[in-house]
Amino acid sequence: EQGLFILAEARRRLGAAYESVVRKRALVACAEGNDHTMGAMCVKLLLEDAGFDVLYLGANLPTVELPLLIRGARSALLCLAHSPALAPEAVLRHARLVNRLCDDPTTVVVHGGASFARLAAAETENLLCFDDLKSFRLWFAHAFPAGSER
């Protein structure tokens, strides 16, 4: 009986120790209408390498599902890759819609795609968006310094 008590106590303490080092979660997906997954996969790998628990949601993710996914996953970060085939204005409208829908203050929404390079800085002023992986990596290193992901 004492052995069972000790075993139960050890499990409880190990569980508590595990909970204290749970990694931050990130959601990575391709925006609705985007079947180009290369950029999203690169972001996924970068985040995993930084210690994040990444849920890759795939290509062409319906926009209406994003708020529920964010709340359910309790993610610190949503990275959404937009189609390079769409007009920059369409990508901008979609990114703004996503930001309005995903208003959870605990989740940082990041947009990526080549289309953002063709937009004026004033147009993307209230969006966190990147047109290449290098600039995302630089922002990420500053926003989530090594060791802060735990």
CATH classification at residue 82: 3.40.50.280
State the pLDDT confidence band at 9, using cuts at 50, 70 and 90: confident
Structural domain contains residue 54: yes
Please say if the pLDDT value at position 21 is more than 70: no
Structural domain contains residue 17: no
Structural domain contains residue 2: no
- Give the C-alpha separation, 114 to 86, whole Å: 10
Please say if the pLDDT value at position 77 is more than 90: yes
Structural domain contains residue 111: yes
Structural domain contains residue 14: no
Into how many domains does the chain fold? Answer: 1
Structural domain contains residue 137: yes
Structural domain contains residue 148: no
Structural domain contains residue 72: yes
Q: Whole-structure pTM over 0.95, yes or no?
A: no
Give residue 36's domain range. Answer: 23-143
pLDDT score, position 146: 78
Please say if the pLDDT value at position 147 is more than 70: no
